[in-house]
Chains A and B, each alone.
Chain A
Amino acid sequence: MITFPVSTVMMVTGFGLILIGLAAILLHRNILRMIIGFSLMDSGIAIVLVSLGYVTGGTAPIMDADLAVAGAAQRVVDPIPSALTVTAIVIGLSVTAVMLAYAIRLYRSHGTLDIEAFRHSRA
């Protein structure tokens, strides 16, 4: 039986989520659904980022009595992508919040959430 490292599974999942998100953004005309698409894309990216730093069989990157500094790089999961992911999640959260705020304002002023309705400026 072929076994995949967990990072590969995560990577595939992450990219899958990104594609699902993009599909939602491009195929749904309701902007709430589009915003959900952006959210899915964010999650997918977070998963991809974490999986990029994964070292198969590695442990948590906490330097203590059990983990000697020498050679630690080969034995621990790279902490930097995880750190970046946290930042990316925070940014994704605020972007989603901003988009939802826009959705509310658009709905209040136009009475619809259809992206096709928001075409006042063009050409």
Chain B
Amino acid sequence: MTALAHPIGILLFGIGGGFLIPLLYKIGYGWLHTGFFAALGGLTLTSIFSLIAVVQGGGEAIEILTAGAAPPISINLRFGLAEGAFSVSVNVMATLLAVAHWDHLKKNYVALLLFLILVMGINGMIMTRDLFNLFVFLEIVSIGTYGLLGLVTSRDGIQAAFKYVMATVIASTLFLLGAVLIYYVTGHLNIDFVIEAQASLIGPISGIALVMMLACLLIELKPFPANGWGLDVYETVPPALAAFLSVCASAGMLFAVYKLLPLFTDYLSLIIASTALTFLASNLIGLRQDKIQRLLGYSSVGQMALGVLALAVLTQIGAQQVIPLVVFGLFLNHLLAKAGLFCLVAAIGASDLREALGLTRRPFVAGGLALFVVAICALPPFPGFWAKWELIMQLASAERFLLIAILLAGSLMETTYLFRWFIRAVTPNPERQLPEPKLNILLPVLTMAVLLIVTGVGMAMASGADGLLIFLPLGVGAGLLVVGPLLSSRLQGIAMLVAVVGASQMLPEAYGIAGLFSHLLLAGGLIIASAGLAEKTMPPLHYPLMAVLLLSIQSVLRTQLGLTFYVAWEFITVASFFLIAQGRNALPETLRFMVFSMFAAFLIMGGYAIIAGQTGSRALIALTIATPEAMVGYALLAAGFLVKAAAIGVHIWLPPAYGEAPDNVTAILSGVVSKVGIFGLLMTAYAAAQSELNVDFTYLLACIGMATTVIGALLALCQRDLKRLLAYSSMSQLGYIVTAIALMSHLGWVTALYIVANHMMVKGILFLAAGAIILRTGTRQLDEISGLVRRMPLTFAVVAVALLSMSGLPPLMGFGGKWLLLSALMDKGWTVLVAGGILATFLGLWYMTRLLVGLFFGPAITQSREAPAMILIPQVLLVGGILVFSLFPKLLMGPVSDAIDPQFAATLVWEGQSLETIYGIWDPTPVMLTSIAAAAGLMALWWGLSKVMGKSVRARAALVLARPLPQAATPRLAQAAWGAFVHGIEVLADGTRRIYTGNGQFYVLLVLAYFLVLYFMSTFLPAS
């Protein structure tokens, strides 16, 4: 045990094992294979025990002196916490990849030998403290790689490997020259002594020497544009070997950069510029890459660049204390998730990203793919997320906004192409045969997934986020996932409802506006979700995801910390994505949902980071103390929430997502999830009102809201698809809420909350009813359905109530909402918006009439029967809610008013009148009576008309079937604009990747040019 705890054993196992391999080969395969794994296992265990020893020793590094002398006479190696962490990560991963790569490794004993030497070389790079020794280990790694690549049998693989050899030989030559020149100047090769003698590192020779070493390490990490040779290898070698190069070999290089960074303090800006360019360019090109392994190559290159970027920038801004969290977190995430993805490529046996694979037939593989993709996209709770969050926060504190923009843009592109792959992979394709998964690939993949979860949870606990709020949703989801297979689908549903109710009781109480939202959304969410019980078989992930979704919403509403808010927000996004993806035709539409959701999330993250950086506080309350300089932060926050609220221009994700999601998921998305974005907007507006902003963008916000309402209503009017009509109607209603929030007055806010409650219940009913109608009629086209009033009378009744309430006609609560809104707008003097509101009300009435008349009246051309009870009951409950709040508005108004009052300054109260006065003006009773009479009159008129005309078909045709507006009146401007934008990005990506000509000579030229440019640029840098 203690003998194993000396890190020199790592080298001994590597070299000793390597030399023994040819001998064992002579004895027999059993000995050979046992010997190989004994050596690799011994090496790995040694590093683990050594790390434990270091930790137990209080973190003091183990120094290894060679030749019985102290440096600088001897070469010394060091095994401290950082070295140990990297070494253990690399060795554990190498062992897993040896298992995954076994089919190739076992063919040739030379491969086993090379693999051992290679792993040993990486450990040497990590541990050594001598420049020349570093060069030797670098060459050991390089030559080992050349050898392993040479055993690749494919023609393309050999081609790529030769390019790789040429480029890396140039790189290591640079390092050798640089190291010897450093010796020439300082008289030392020992890194610590060279760092001590840094003062003497002035003058042109030192300058060129340092740039040579730096260029070598950066080139080995494959910087854009000098990285074609690396990408060719990632593309052509067996996946597990590509994984080894991408994560293990690169780890040695990354650590070498870390080790030598004190020498490069003058060059930090250069490193940052190069790595930022690499991160951006590789992710940009990834958008246009269809070969999976090459795509993962681009992602690898980007991730390693991000690691070095973080290292350099955190050093530059003096935030070294977070380097372990950020750099090691990024590294660990890349190590586990990228290796996992490469291994899955081996398990799937696919090379073209566009191919539909029907991967859900292999749930384990599909689950692994989902997990790794989510992890690489740096979504919580995986290590990459915590690292990236901290990095962004630090960058914001240092006001490095350009870097934040680059990081988020690159990450968004990476999310896009990885989810694109995932979506294609799970797209059903019965013709495609999937290979039987091999155990030697699945076991490592499983281990990587477990390690990813364990490290993610560990980092979450260390991150200072609210543990309960983060882990409760995940825990309940995981629990349901585990017990799911034991229960019938309906029992799962009941278990989910019980679990969510129980778990929400464990959460801390939410207060004020958040408290209102939490009660409303919990009750609404549970009621709508219970409609799922109508289905005998739900997709297996439905209920666990639903639990995560509903509980994460509660977490968002309860936290006081920006970090927890964002984590729970991302849980909502990811859970929604997978829920939508279960819709029958939803897969092609989910990418847009994901990209826009992440776009919104990144805007929120960026905005929050700017404000947090400016106030120096990570609590949400800090939003209220920001000074005018943080204006951009508020604008970004508002923009992010507006994207989620599907404001005009960025609304294009909503109709397809709502239209294609499973019916009860749509009801939850529209009724409940959309309100979380509204809550965010409300909180932002509140914080902005509290802080001392001198720029007022409330009018702009109100205009955006009203434009969304009007155009949403117009587009709803033009729909023939039942769910899309309702989707556009949701957009339109959300616009009302945005306008109400923008009023920034007490009355406006009361209105906003009032419409929130109304819309939740109304849309819950309508989408559930739509689901029931689609279930019973088998179609969702309005012109194929008619005359359902006799067949589905109960559904008709609830839909009529919901439509009446949404239309804003008296007597139901929608009337109150609209009345309040128009009064508040008038009060503010925004007459244009009042006109907009009236127009939207008119358009709304029109499409709602179309809907009601189209579905329920006219000849019964469709066979159907009443909706299932389990879909009707939630709707009836929601109708009950509407009626209660309509008859007793104070039940809602009272708490709403109380919630807002303490948070708002007195000046914001509407004309100084108390709410009692407002209620006094608005006495619903006479209006109610009048409107009931009016409605009855209208009904009578309808019946009369249909009797007189003999048949009601023609009136129906005019009202329902005719397109209300010519096509030209509703041009798809937003679609066209986003399409042009995406096309522009694609053209840019295609132009950029033209440098990858495939010519090895050109790649060598690029490597040389990279060094020369680096050197040329370094001469412009100011010396420290």
Residues of A whose CB lies within 8 Å of any CB of B are 22, 25-26, 29, 31, 34, 38, 41-42, 45, 48-49, 52, 80-81, 84, 87-88, 91, 94-95, 98-99, 101-103, 105-106, 109-110, 115-116, 118-123
Q: Which residues of A contact B159 (CB under 8 A)?
A: 106, 118-121
Using an 8 Å CB-CB cutoff, how does the interface string of B849-865 with A read, 1 for contact, 0 for none? Answer: 00000000000000000
* A31 touching B162 in the complex, CB below 8 Å, given contacts A22-B1008, A109-B155, A121-B294: yes
Asked if A102 and B161 sit within 8 Å, CB to CB, the answer is yes
Identify the closest chain A residue to B234 (Cβ). Answer: A121
Q: Which residues of A contact B232 (CB under 8 A)?
A: 121-122
Asked if A105 and B160 sit within 8 Å, CB to CB, the answer is no
Q: How far is the CB of B622 from chain A (nearest CB, A)?
A: 47
Q: Which residues of A contact B236 (CB under 8 A)?
A: 120-121
Q: Which residues of B contact A87 (CB under 8 A)?
A: 132, 136
A–B complex contacts, Cβ < 8 Å, 23 sampled = A22-B1008, A25-B1004, A29-B1001, A31-B162, A45-B177, A48-B177, A52-B181, A81-B184, A84-B132, A99-B162, A99-B165, A99-B169, A102-B161, A106-B158, A106-B162, A109-B155, A115-B1001, A119-B998, A120-B236, A121-B232, A121-B294, A122-B996, A122-B998
- Given A106-B162, A110-B155, A121-B998, 8 extra CB contacts under 8 A: A26-B1008, A29-B1001, A45-B176, A91-B139, A95-B142, A106-B158, A106-B159, A109-B155
Q: Which residues of B contact A116 (CB under 8 A)?
A: 999
Q: Which residues of A contact B158 (CB under 8 A)?
A: 102, 105-106, 109
Residue among B160, B161, B166, B173 facing the most chain A CB atoms (10 A cut-off): B173
B916 contacts A by Cβ under 8 Å: no
Asked if B999 and A52 sit within 8 Å, CB to CB, the answer is no
Asked if A34 and B997 sit within 8 Å, CB to CB, the answer is no
* A98 touching B1001 in the complex, CB below 8 Å, given contacts A105-B158, A118-B163: no
Asked if A25 and B166 sit within 8 Å, CB to CB, the answer is yes
Asked if A98 and B176 sit within 8 Å, CB to CB, the answer is no
Closest 8 CB pairs of A and B: A122-B998, A119-B998, A118-B159, A120-B156, A121-B232, A123-B996, A123-B993, A98-B146
Q: How far is the CB of B143 from chain A (nearest CB, A)?
A: 6
Identify the closest chain B residue to A103 (Cβ). Answer: B162
Identify the closest chain A residue to B152 (Cβ). Answer: A105
Q: How far is the CB of B165 from chain A (nearest CB, A)?
A: 6
B570 contacts A by Cβ under 8 Å: no
Alpha-carbon gap, A34 to B997, bound state (A): 19
Alpha-carbon gap, A101 to B189, bound state (A): 33
B428 contacts A by Cβ under 8 Å: no
Using an 8 Å CB-CB cutoff, how does the interface string of B106-147 with A read, 1 for contact, 0 for none? Answer: 000000000000000000000000001000100100110011
Identify the closest chain B residue to A120 (Cβ). Answer: B156
Alpha-carbon gap, A80 to B147, bound state (A): 30
Alpha-carbon gap, A31 to B1000, bound state (A): 10
* A102 touching B1004 in the complex, CB below 8 Å, given contacts A48-B177, A115-B999, A121-B294: no
Q: Which residues of B contact A48 (CB under 8 A)?
A: 177, 180
Identify the closest chain A residue to B1004 (Cβ). Answer: A25
Alpha-carbon gap, A89 to B107, bound state (A): 32
B935 contacts A by Cβ under 8 Å: no
Asked if B150 and A115 sit within 8 Å, CB to CB, the answer is no
Using an 8 Å CB-CB cutoff, how does the interface string of B977-1002 with A read, 1 for contact, 0 for none? Answer: 00000000000000001101111110
Asked if A120 and B176 sit within 8 Å, CB to CB, the answer is no
Q: How far is the CB of A1 from chain B (nearest CB, A)?
A: 28
Alpha-carbon gap, A115 to B162, bound state (A): 10
Asked if A84 and B294 sit within 8 Å, CB to CB, the answer is no
Alpha-carbon gap, A17 to B787, bound state (A): 91
Q: Which residues of A contact B1008 (CB under 8 A)?
A: 22, 26
Alpha-carbon gap, A114 to B999, bound state (A): 10
Q: Which residues of A contact B161 (CB under 8 A)?
A: 102
* A95 touching B143 in the complex, CB below 8 Å, given contacts A81-B180, A101-B150, A121-B235: yes
